[in-house]
Amino acid sequence: MARIKTGSIRHLIWVLLLCFGAIPANARNAQEIARKAFTSTVLLVMEDANGQPLSLGSGFFVRDGEVASNLHVIEGAARGYAKMVGQKAKYDIEGITAVDPERDLVVLKISGARTGALALGNSESVQVGETVYAVGNPQGLEGTFSQGIVSSIREVGTDKILQITAPISPGSSGGPVLNSKGEVIGVSVATFRGGQNLNFAIPSNYLKTLLGKAGGIRTLAQVMSAKTHRSILADFGSRSLEGVVCGSWTWDPNLWFSFSVQNQLRESVKNVDCLVIFYDSQGSPIDFQKLRVYGFIPPGLAKRVKGGVDHAVRQLTKDVAIRVLGFEIAN
């Protein structure tokens, strides 16, 4: 019996897939797409007027010194900075060059950062079943890359939104959703009604249109005070954070701490995300951590969360604040 080399079989399968259209002719492998995406994706850390950490999100370079993200990532912030994946340098957000409140899109001017931009694909050509990759910083974990498919293309009023199976968590909002060519075909969104693990992305063609309208730099305060339009996210139901509260903080031995997360709703919740901010004696933030409470918390009950800090943070900390960033309703 004649033997056929394994490499030849793989090559034959690849050629057949190309011939029948199962794989785009210029498709790239996932590792290559991830490497390129990480060099152009940033972690966004937003702060209030007192310099206190307010929220975390993601963004990606669309032009030299300009980063696209979701508008809701910067809401309520007085300032913020961008951090490249795998790097320590922080780059201040100078302001906003373009904004589309109705589609939850914003383009930020970043000071001093120089890196390549991601190519924008044609979201009108996206098909259900197509492989996609979501890139972001879920829970503040830098450089996370996940694969999924386009499960639906939904209409919201006169607009469209992409429903995908690639997971999107708080912290990944504003990150790029890429096709098999490594092109951006959507911008991740992480706010949904009831937390049903429904993952959505704003089509890239809306971002292309917005970039064509970019102008001078405006401050975050100028843009947010002028926000009067209804967002596309309103039709999916913005999730209220009321009903889940944190408290009962205690310092444990050996630099550990713990606090309770109580569910005051009538439904069980899961995957509660909390932001812990540590302050010195002057009231200035010296460190922050983002923690997730895994598992279910039934109505009226609570769970304790445990974390740790280094010796310097423990010595300097005089006060602590805890904020609930998000949670899911467990069905």
Q: Which domains does the chain have, with CATH numbers?
A: 26-239 (2.40.10.120), 244-329 (2.60.40.3230)
Amino acid 162: pLDDT: 93
How many Cα atoms occupy the beta-carbon half-sphere of 263 within 13 Å? 24
* Residue spans of the chain under pLDDT 70: 1-27, 138-141, 170, 190-198, 221-242, 331
Amino acid 233: pLDDT: 59
CA distances from 239 to 127, 232, 234, 251, 328 (A): 28, 14, 10, 31, 9
Q: For the full predicted model, state whether its pTM sits above 0.75.
A: no
305/288 Cα distance (integer angstroms): 15
Amino acid 172: pLDDT: 84
Amino acid 49: pLDDT: 77
Amino acid 194: pLDDT: 45
Residue 177 and residue 132 in contact, taking contact as beta carbons nearer than 8 Å: yes
Q: Show the 3-state SS of the chain.
A: CCCCCHHHHHHHHHHHHHHCCCCCCCCCCHHHHHHHHHHHEEEEEEECCCCCEEEEEEEEEEECCEEEEEHHHHCCCCEEEEEECCCCCEEEEEEEEEEEHHHCEEEEEECCCCCCCCCECCHHHCCCCCEEEEEECHHHCCCEEEEEEEEEEEEECCEEEEEECCCCCCCCCCCEEECCCCCEEEEEECCCHHHCCCEEEEEHHHHHHHHCCCCCCECHHHHHHCCCCCCHHHHHCCCCCCCEEEEEEEECCCCEEEEEEEECCCCCEEEEEEEEEEECCCCCEEEEEEEEEEEEECCCCEEEEEEECCHHHHHHCCEEEEEEEEEEECC
Amino acid 226: pLDDT: 47
Residue 133 and residue 178 in contact, taking contact as beta carbons nearer than 8 Å: yes
Amino acid 326: pLDDT: 79
Catalytically active residues, by annotation: 72, 104, 173
Paired tokens of 29: 């492998």
Backbone angles phi, psi at 326, to 5 degrees: 175, 165
Q: Which amino acid is present at 146?
A: S
